[in-house]
Structure 1
Amino acid sequence: MSSPAEQYARARERAARAATPAGRFTQSLGFELDPFQLEAIQAVQDGAGVLVAAPTGAGKTVVGEFAVALALETGRKAFYTTPIKALSNQKYHDLVERHGSANVGLLTGDSSVNGEAPVVVMTTEVLRNMMYSSSPTLTGLGFVVMDEVHYLADRWRGAVWEEVIIHLPPSVQVVSLSATVSNAEEFGDWLRAVRGGGNPESLRVIVSEHRPVPLWQHMMVGTQMLDLFVTEGAGPGSTRVNPELLQRISQAERSASSGWSREDAGGPRGRRGEPRGGRRDGRGRGRDGGRGRGGGERGRSDSRRRYDDAVPVLERGALPGGVASRAQVIDRLDREGLLPAITFIFSRAGCDAAVAQLLGRGTRLVPEEDGRRVRDLVQQRVAEVDPADLGVLGYHDFVEGLARGYAAHHAGMLPLFREIVEELFTHGRLRAVFATETLALGINMPARTVVLEKLVKFNGETHAPVTPAEYTQLTGRAGRRGIDIEGHGVVLWRRGVDPVDVAGLASTRTYPLRSSFRPSSNMAVNLVAQYGRDRAHELLQSSFAQFQADRSVVGLTTRVRENETALEGYAEAMRCDRGDFREYGRMRHELGELEKKLARQRQHERRSDIARSLEELAPGQVIQLDGGRKGTMGVVIRGTKRASAAPEPTVLTSNGSVQRLTVAGFKDVPEVIGTLRVPTGFNSRSPRARKDLASALRDTVREPRPGRGRGGGADEESGTAYPHRGEARVDELRAQLRTHPCHGCPEREDHARWAARWWQLRRETDDLQRRVSERTHTVARTFERICDLLAGLGYLTPDGQQVTQEGQRLRRIYTELDLVVAESLRRGTWRRLTPADLAAVVSSLIHEARGDEVLDARMPTVEVEEALGEMGAIWREVLSLKSEHRLEGDREPDPGIAWMVHRWASGRGLDEVLRDGGMSAGDFVRRCKQVVDLLGQVASSGAEPEVARAARRASDAMLRGVVAADRLD
């Protein structure tokens, strides 16, 4: 019981906090903040930048929301940036709900809502483009929130984050929100260097590894769910794999090999029948609220559990190989009170198939009344979509699944459909979602349980194992703060899945953040235009990529310094009062290296001569094998095969053995000492044939005495048989050594030993310095090579110091194939194209076929085909120029959707456009928006009037139907 004085002091403290912006903000939330959130909010209030690294679902965004509130309170602007449009949409709606639509705007590639509001949500690319164009919207900017800042590691888009961080004015406070990474301090050091001039008070790094909702890891074997780790008596954080799980998997493997039994569905499982490995401490799903629906039920009764476990697996439809069907998994989770759940499948077709399987089985996860309300809501949301298109989009199965409580979520869906799924799931109206990994990025769709069907996914190039960082990001969706007392991650066991590997994924906590930054042509012209080439060079030196490269050589430079100190000591030890022993040692070192080189050359030439001689041997020739000892001559019975990679003739020796000759078996070129007729059809496997031929060999050909012939032991090191020009230098060095003053020093060999050490260490140090040089200034050197290329093409002045008129056009082209676009505009490649033709041509610049896509590659018009041919030639020219300048090339334009885009831009219906096209509706809509975005860049780039006019008309023609109905995605 605290004293009145203590109570009064605490009351005064609370009142003082409430008088600050941070205090008012925290009081308005209605829930208690964690220490890391309070610390970060206080740092923002104090004027510092912050880097907050915390697990998914820990509440990082509260810090960004405080920056927004502080901007509004202090009369400044705040930009809230995200990596994807879907997350921008979600944050926009969240902030509108809190601050009102008048105060919040949205800017994405194809949407502009109240863009001059004091708070604007946008994708990071939009902010980058605003800075390069010196947009007046930046005036008064006080805060930039960078949500999911760890996305700067993304191979394709990560450079945008670094560009923004480097170029933002120093007066702007940056609030960076990241997933947990192991090198947060390193990233923070870089942020301090570029944002605060190295001032340690300019940025606070706040790391929290605490999950507010504990996460339990499981594996499901058949339909039985067991703990992944031992928990009972092992203490918190145990990483020892559950032996019961290992035993159950062993049983399942035997059953899968011999046919399924009743136990495969989760039969007798020990004294408690618990599917979690026998937790008895009350902290598992059996704890009140952890297993029941809505956190209130305690789970099914033991009698019901025993009944379910005893149902034969064939009756329940288990799949071969010990894997429960998707319907079985959802049923199991539903009975255990572990819904809502997200099942990550890593396949768009798999996600759709999962919904179809549940529909085919008649699964219902929500009451019918709730389903009717969902139908009404969805009908309102799709009101703008042409009813004729809804059938093409699979609308009826989509809404039926939603009304029953489940849906798919992947990039191949119509963006509007994905947004509906996100909204319904967030508001608790869906119980199961089958998703690809795109759902794990930022979008706030937490669940009680996350299921991973497989631990291998396609990464864009190949099927690769899920990384520990990806595993944590995916399972991090499990456990809703304020709703669940714990979350659950479930991996489905199938043959080939090792629980030890799963445990390694679940327990790894090392996720380093690596920069993917690399300059581009567009970046180069924008930097030169804004800062000049020299200043731009300096700016790129401050990129996180260069920061990491420089840090990677810290250890090397330390070793270089240590070696330099040792070299000074060696030089002192070899000092000689007769003369310059370093010079004498240099000549001895050169002589030794040259002698080794000559010996290697002689050996190489000798081996080449031996190989050539063996290759020329013919059947019947008798050769000396190893210097004339008894039994060391042989007759060739088979020559070298024509297609053989190495000469390997076969001989019969004088003692009757058969040998295959190789270069390694000779010290010198073998000498032919006679000939002998080998019987036609000689069978080397016949002992009698071998004996007769060996006898004839001994009787016919006289064995040479030891030491006779070329094979008798030419001096390998003498060099007399293989003279070289370098030997003159050897003689010269030997003469110089004999006349050097130090040659007669009585301590010469002692000094020489120190000199040998000096030269060896000098060689190692030079190698280290070369490695340091290769890693230093790598980003800036790439920038300089790009500038040289652009100067040669006329986008920069010949000295590379200023941007030309053509370069000004390139400044407005933000696409991977920026030079192809700029060159196409400069050469008039698109001059005579209709709007539909131009849209089709532009689609080749943004489309990149997925690995499983088979698209209709027909050309819509002759003009499109000719333009694409010219663009292909331009791409090859650019590729060749980049190769000359030692720059990485760009992918080739892909006309795979030109036919579909042309039909859409010509006013055709969605059914006709997609028919036989091989592309999903969602992918097509997304590509259309990217085409519209690039057309807008072309129209505003200063292109010829007729091209700009065609680009605007093409953009208008594309923005209709399902493409226009989803402008906020």
Structure 2
Amino acid sequence: MSDARQFGGDAPRPVAVTHDPDAELGPAERMALFRWKQRYPHTQAFMSEHSFTFDDFQRQACEHIEDGHGVLVAAPTGAGKTIAGEFAVHLATATGKKAFYTTPIKALSNQKYNDLVDRYGLEHVGLLTGDTSINSEAPVVVMTTEVLRNMIYAQSPTLTGLGFVVMDEVHYLADRFRGAVWEEVIIGLADSVQLVALSATVSNAEEFGEWLSEVRGQVDLVVSERRPVPLYQHVLVGRKIHDLFAGEAPTATTDASKVAAHHDVNPALVQVAKQEARTVRDDSRRPRGKRGRGKRAHGHGSGSYGGAAHRSHREKSHFRPPSRGDMIRSLDRADLLPAIVFIFSRQGCDAAVKQVLGSGVELTDAAERAAIIEIVDAHTSGLSPADLAALDADTFTEALLRGVASHHAGMLPAFKECVEECFTKNLIKVVFATETLALGINMPARSVVLEKLVKFNGDIHADITPGEYTQLTGRAGRRGIDTEGHAVVLWQPGLDPRAVAGLASRRTYPLRSSFAPTYNMAVNLVGTVGRGRARTLLEQSFAQYQSDRSVVGGVRTVEKNRRRIEELLAKAACENGDFTEYARLRSKIGELEADAARARKADKRAEALRSVIDLRPGDIIHVPTGRHQGWAVVIDTGVRGSREEPHPQVLTGERHVKRLTMNDFPTPVSPVGRVRIPKRFHPKDAHARRSLFAAFQHRMETIDLRPERWRPGAMDEAVSAEIADLRDQMRAHPCHACPERETHARWGEKAMALERENEKLTARMERRTNTIAASFDRICLVLESLGYLAPLDETSQDEGATAKELTVTAPGRALSRIYNELDLVAAEALRRGVFSGLTAPRLAAVLSTLVYESRRTDSRQRPPRMPDAESQARYDQLRSIHREVGLAERDFRIDRGRDLDLGFAEAAHDWCGGRPLAAVLADTALSAGDFVRWVRQVIDFADQIGKAAALAEDPALRRTCREVSDTMRRGVVAF
């Protein structure tokens, strides 16, 4: 059957061909095709510009857009969903409208900008990122999503004539740090704008599409599970590559879940797992030491490396992951290069490249090396020899010339661009990358290798999810180049092939909103649409939509429980009286007693912590419980910081020096006396311990040791009285004298338990309803208490309004220009003059403390500090403001913002002051790429503070902010 007959629907599928497809069609089909062309002329024209046949989902998406609808396209990585976004741009240019193409990261923006420039010309395409502005008033503009959000809040005139917004990688709205921006844009765009959302395959695409339709009008959902290049799954054991599944691997028309349903895990891999387990068991039974397993056994017997020890070594080496050089050779022999090897560590990626360099692997020929040199020269020609030396460009280039590179967020942008261009031109064969490469950047490979299936998620080392596995392996298979893609997992000790099969066969990647109101969002919304309208908009967020949908299940549970309660109470019916009433009295008494016990425990815990923190060396206390229960004298309070529990060191009545924890203090302690601790007292000095113990014993003889001085009090008197009153009512109730009372009570207790469950469910559902708006209200209260929002004149308030209307004050307008996680702290600092009067380098240092966040892997020879006394004084002021804002947030039940971080202050100061790159990098633990990224963040923040300073009528500060931007945007930062 010809391509033209595969169209489906009302007409044969139109394709770009050199001959006339109409000649192959019958009269009815030609008429249907004619009607389709009449209805979708722009889709037909766009398809004719491409040399390949559109997939059904691509054509359908274009048709929906031409029909005037929004569209959500969810498809696997590499399936070609960007066709829908490019068609929106095509339709905008054909109809005289503007199109904005938004991306989550600058690298993807740059890539898409270059693609569109190639198609439409330099004069028709613009680029807006945090530090780049090119042709911003062009009819087609590529930008990061934050830029569009800021334009919406600022009511920028650039939005005039906007007809289409493409949101590439829209599933990024699940990102807990930046995801809220996507929802702000979706909610804030004018109704006239058509939204084209491009997403990876998510399991709740229907839910997301339904929400988009609610807030944007009709948004059609187009989902494709079909990979354009079929994906085969493998496991590399030692140097041998095994298929993961037995039998046939997936084709382009099947997905991994269907393969898993019809094919078992490869028996060879199951056998490897069993063999490995047996080897481990055998090793565990072998004696250790000189007569057991060890180097001496290798030469036992004939003097050569043989026998049982040799076999054991071969078995163990079979299970060990191969060296990086051997891994690449195995992939090369299997014709699986080029490959992307995912390593969930920046340092791990760089170390892997060095290992490959040391292994002697060379994957390029002379022509490829010459082409690589040209690309490197083009991307680094603007860097000085000193900068290139500081960046160790020689090692980077040597690796590229061997056909190997790393790719991660810590790299210099120019180096990353070299890697991306070389890889897409098939000049380098192996890239060791972190998972950030899987986000949108167009770098597909023939195969993807996962060295481990565990990664650090910011808190712990956790197994990667099926969604992450799908996202990473989606890079395998180059459309139009490869007939198949390959995912390879390296065998690690303890690997379960069935678990790998589970990852490969599950497509569970639900999209969960990370949206939450912020101070900046609040003043911008109140300033543009008013508080009432702002609440309404926030209630339309995807976060609220998902929360409300979750209430549906709760409602069903409540109704089911209600019916069961009726049945139970019917069984508990008593001839003497209303047993339901009696059961509720008993239940209330039990609840009050339990609550009182919990309250006492919680209060005692808090009091205990406070009492231990307040201890001083020399205090004599009674340790309430634990192995060291009894009298003791405090040697050291063990208070190390506000975030750590105290661990006091004491001398016990048994003359032991012990370090205690809060587990030893379930109740508060109160000193009953004191002894003097010598200034030079050392706990390990036996004579000093004896002297202190003698003084302790002597002091104990003079102290009043009555228990009421140090034992906790009794139950709250009011609660005790209420319980006594309820007990009197219970005894007086007619059901109390029923001979079947306890039998009835068993049914009643079950009913009361379900009633309590219903009360909790109902309260939880009420909390979930309007949760976003309620959070917004609390944020508004903080802003009102600090003077960033103020009530409108009472006469202008609408009757029946759920919340009073507010207006944005002058400080609030300054806050509206600050887009920072600590936006309110920054606004307060601006308001109080913390940033004023500083030199540019000192200002850069102070601003960096509000921007920078240390990585857990940062290693420093000394603790970070501010560069001089003046910047330290301003930093101390910032800390004070941070504490004040934190107290206000606590009072209004808002999660406190992150701490300030002075880890980049000296680097920011020195770079702004003109210090050379090599010298600055030598004094910081940061990679060159991270250094450039944080400098650009400081520059962007300085620009924000400068704009806010203009609104705050502080022209001197605005000039200094400009100086910060100008002086820091040099060398590798400007390149």
TM-score class, shorter-chain normalisation, is 0.7 to 0.9
Task: Write the distance in 2 (CA, Å) between the matches of 1:26 and 1:928.
Answer: 44
Partner SS state of residue 49, structure 2: helix
- One-letter code aligned to 2:848: S
Secondary structure in structure 2 of the residue aligned to 1:56: coil
Structure 1 pair 755–937 and aligned structure 2 pair: CA distance change class (3 A): same
Cα deviation code 1:761-819 (max 9, x no counterpart):
54443332112112211111111000000000000015661110000000000010101
Distance (whole Å) between structure 1 residues aligned to residue 596 and residue 514 of structure 2: 48
Change in 2 beyond 3 A, CA 1:838/1:221: same
Query: How far apart in 1 are the matches of 2:248 and 2:741?
Result: 73
Structure 2 counterpart of 1:889: 896
The answer to whether 1:875 aligns with 2:882 is yes
Gaps of 5+ in 2: 6-21, 251-257, 284-309, 599-622, 631-719, 792-803
Q: How far does residue 448 in structure 1 lie from its aligned partner after superposition?
A: 0.2
Aligned with residue 958 of structure 2, among 948, 961, 966: 948
214, 217, 225: which one aligns with 1:209: 225
Deviation at 1:920, TM superposition (A): 0.7
1:67 paired to 2:65: no
Tell me what 2:775 maps to: 782
SS of the equivalent of 1:162 reads helix
Question: What is residue 71 of structure 2 aligned with on the other side?
Answer: 50
Q: Report the CA distance shift for 1:212/1:592 in structure 2 as closer, same or farther (over 3 A).
A: same
Q: Provide the secondary structure at the position in 1 that maps to 2:789.
A: coil
The alpha-carbon deviation at position 413 of structure 1 amounts to 0.8
Separation of aligned partners in 2, 1:594 and 1:528: 45
Partner of 2:611: none
Q: Deviations over 1:654-692 (max 9, x none)?
A: xxxxxxxxxxxxxxxxxxxxxxxxxxxxxxxxxxxxxxx
Q: Is the 8 A contact 1:253 1:322 kept in 2?
A: no
Give the TM-score of the pair, scaled to structure 2: 0.76
> Radius of gyration: which is bigger?
1
Against the structure 1 CA distance between its residues 765 and 25, is the aligned structure 2 distance closer, same or farther, given a 3 Å change threshold?
A: same
State the distance in 2 between where 1:728 and 1:463 align.
54
Equivalent of residue 804 in structure 1, options 809, 816, 819: 809
Contact 2:849 2:901 in 1 (8 A): yes
Q: Within 1, Cα distance between the matches of 2:593 and 2:925?
A: 64
The superposition leaves residues 66-85 of structure 1 with CA deviations (integer Å, 9 ceiling, x where unpaired) of 11101110111111111100
* TM-score of the aligned structures, taking structure 1 as reference length: 0.76
Once the two structures are superposed, what CA deviation does each residue of 1:416-466 show, in whole Å capped at 9, x if it has no partner?
110111112112222111111110111010000001111111222322221
| Residues 645 and 44 of structure 1: CA distance in aligned 2, closer, same or farther (over 3 Å) | farther
Find the residue that maps to 1:161 and give its secondary structure: helix
- Relative to structure 1, is the Cα distance of residues 573 and 416 closer, same or farther in structure 2, using a 3 angstrom cutoff? same
State the match for 1:225 in structure 2. 241
Distance 1:466 1:368 in 2: 40
1:64–1:861: structure 2 CA closer, same or farther, 3 Å change rule? Answer: same
8 Å CA contact 1:79–1:144 kept in 2: the answer is yes
Say whether residues 1:771 and 2:764 are aligned partners. yes
Match of 2:601 in 1: none
Distance 1:443 1:588, change over 3 A: same
1:588 corresponds to which of 582, 585, 588: 582
Equivalences for residues 409-428 of structure 1 within 5 A:
409-428=407-426
Return the alpha-carbon distance in structure 1 between the equivalents of residues 487 and 567 of structure 2: 60
Cα–Cα, structure 1 residues 732 and 105, in superposed 2: closer, same or farther, change >3 Å?
closer
Equivalent position amino acid for 2:452 in 1: K
Amino acid at match of 1:903: D
Aligned partners of 1:591, 1:507: CA distance in 2, in Å? 54
State the shift of 1:99 in Å. Answer: 1.3
Whole-Å Cα distance in 2 between the matches of residues 258 and 733 of structure 1? Answer: 68
Which residue of the partner structure matches residue 871 of structure 2?
Answer: 864
The amino acid of 2:781's aligned partner reads D
Aligned to 1:901: 908
One of 353, 366, 379 as aligned partner of 1:381: 379
Displacement, 1:893? 1.1
What does residue range 283-362 of structure 1 map to in structure 2 within 5 Å?
322-362=320-360
**Partner of residue 788, structure 2:** 795
CA separation of 1:591 and 1:573: change in aligned 2, threshold 3 A: closer
CA contact 1:18–1:24 (8 Å) conserved in 2: no
| Residue pair 1:239, 1:503 contacting (<8 A) in 2 also | no
Contact 1:570/1:757 (8 A) holds in 2: yes
d(CA) in 1 for partners of 2:593, 2:870: 66
> Residue type matched to 1:60 in 2?
K
Within 1, Cα distance between the matches of 2:348 and 2:570? 73
Contact 1:351 1:435 in 2 (8 A): yes
Please say if 1:957 is aligned against 2:962. no
* Number of residue equivalences: 789
The whole-number CA distance in structure 1 between the counterparts of 2:31 and 2:311 is 66
Query: Judging changes above 3 Å, is the alpha-carbon distance between structure 1 residues 4 and 726 closer, same or farther for their aligned structure 2 residues?
Result: closer
Q: Which residue of 2 aligns with 1:148?
A: 169
> Deviations along 1:141-180, whole A, 9 cap, x unmatched?
1111111111111010000011111111111111111111
Distance 2:529 2:540 in 1: 14
Residue pair 2:569, 2:580 contacting (<8 A) in 1 also: no
After superposition, the C-alpha distances for 1:224-244 in whole angstroms (9 at most, x for unaligned) are 000111125999444521111
Q: Is the 8 A contact 2:273 2:496 kept in 1?
A: no
* 1:835 corresponds to: 840
1:592–1:482 distance in 2 versus 1, CA, 3 Å: same
Deviations 1:332-353 (A, max 9, x none): 1112211110011112222112
Q: CA deviation at 1:574?
A: 11
Q: Does 1:77 align with 2:98?
A: yes
Could you list the per-position Cα deviations for residues 629-669 of structure 1 after superposition, in whole angstroms to 9, with x for gaps in the alignment? xxxxxxxxxxx99744999xxxxxxxxxxxxxxxxxxxxxx
Aligned 8 A contact 2:530 2:805 in 1: no
Distance in 2, matches of 1:503 and 1:329, equals 21
The answer on whether the counterparts of 1:587 and 1:733 sit within 8 Å (CA) in structure 2 is no
The aligned counterpart of 1:523 is: 521
Letter in 2 for 1:876: R
Conserved? CA contact 1:230–1:242, under 8 Å: yes
Identity of aligned residues (%): 52
Cross-structure match for 1:247:
271
Contact 1:214 1:479 in 2 (8 A): yes
Q: Summarize deviations over 1:483-532 as a string: whole Å, max 9, x none.
A: 11110000111112222221111111111111111111111111111111
The answer to whether the 8 Å contact 1:80/1:122 transfers is yes
Match of 1:662 in 2: none
Structure 1 residues 114 and 751: alpha-carbon distance in aligned structure 2, compared to 1, 3 A threshold: same
Structure 1 alignment gaps of length 5 or more: 197-201, 260-311, 605-639, 648-722
Change (3 A) 1:215 1:729: closer
CA root-mean-square deviation = 3.5
2:292 aligned partner? none
Residues 301-341 of structure 1 deviation map (CA, whole Å, 9 limit, x = unaligned): xxxxxxxxxxx99999x979611111111111112211110
Q: Map residues 610-759 of structure 1 onto 2, 5 A cutoff.
A: 643-644=626-627, 726-727=723-724, 729-732=726-729, 734-735=731-732, 737=734
* 2: CA distance, partners of 1:170 / 1:404: 53
| Aligned residue type for 1:512 | P
| Aligned match of 1:121 | 142
1:109 aligns with 2:130: yes
Report Cα offsets for 1:892-948 as digits up to 9, x if no partner: 111111111111111111001111311111000000111110011011112411111
Alpha-carbon distance between aligned partners in 2 of 1:383 and 1:800, rounded to the nearest angstrom: 57
CA 1:4–1:68 in structure 2 vs 1: closer, same or farther (change >3 Å)? closer
State the distance in 1 between where 2:182 and 2:436 align.
19
Change (3 A) 1:889 1:587: same
With 855-864 and 786-795 compared, the bigger mean Cα shift is at 855-864
C-alpha change, 1:387 and 1:253, in structure 2 (3 Å) is: farther
Give SS of 1:964's match. coil
**How far apart in 2 are the matches of 1:600 and 1:66?**
64
Q: Report the CA distance between 1:559 and its aligned residue.
A: 3.5
Aligned partner of 2:787: which letter? G
Q: Note closer, same or farther for the CA distance 1:575–1:250 as it changes in structure 2 (3 Å cut).
A: closer
Pair 421,751 (structure 1): closer, same or farther in 2 beyond 3 Å: closer
Amino acid in the other structure paired with 1:958: M
Which residue is 2:536 aligned to? 538
> Alignment partner of 2:166: what SS?
strand
How far does residue 394 in structure 1 lie from its aligned partner after superposition?
1.6
Kept in 1: contact 2:340–2:433 (CA 8 A): yes
* Equivalent pair of 2:343/2:452 in contact (CA under 8 Å): yes
Contact 2:78 2:227 in 1 (8 A): yes
